[in-house]
Amino acid sequence: MPSTQATKSPSSKNVPDMTVPLVAKPKESAPPEAAMSDAEKRADLIRIAAYSLYERRGYVSGHELEDWLQAEMEVDRQMAAAPRTTQTK
């Protein structure tokens, strides 16, 4: 007579969850761009630029502060050069 107990497969036996989060994981429910403050937009752009620098270096760690400061300078330069738009309702 066949057994009615469920058995676990060998692959799921005592295996810890080894999920590694992404460094620059996109936001699941990002607000519309118009609703973002300048500070939020700046922070997002810096994060993306710093990750890009890390990626270009070949994912070599140890330069996080250098990448972040370089990204801040680039984003601030771009934001200062961009024309400001005003929203009218």
Domain limits, the chain:
34-80
> Which DSSP state fits 22?
-
Is-above-0.85 flag for pTM?
A: no
How far apart CA 20 and CA 85 sit, in angstroms, is: 40
Q: Report the pLDDT value the prediction gives residue 28, as an integer from 0 to 100.
A: 59
Q: Is the pLDDT score of 2 beyond 90?
A: no
Overall average pLDDT of the 54-61 stretch: 95
3-state secondary structure of 33: helix
Q: Is the pLDDT score of 11 beyond 50?
A: no
- Amino acid at residue number 55: E
Q: Is the pLDDT score of 27 beyond 50?
A: yes
- Amino acid at residue number 82: A
Other Cβ atoms less than 10 A from the Cβ of 55: the count is 12
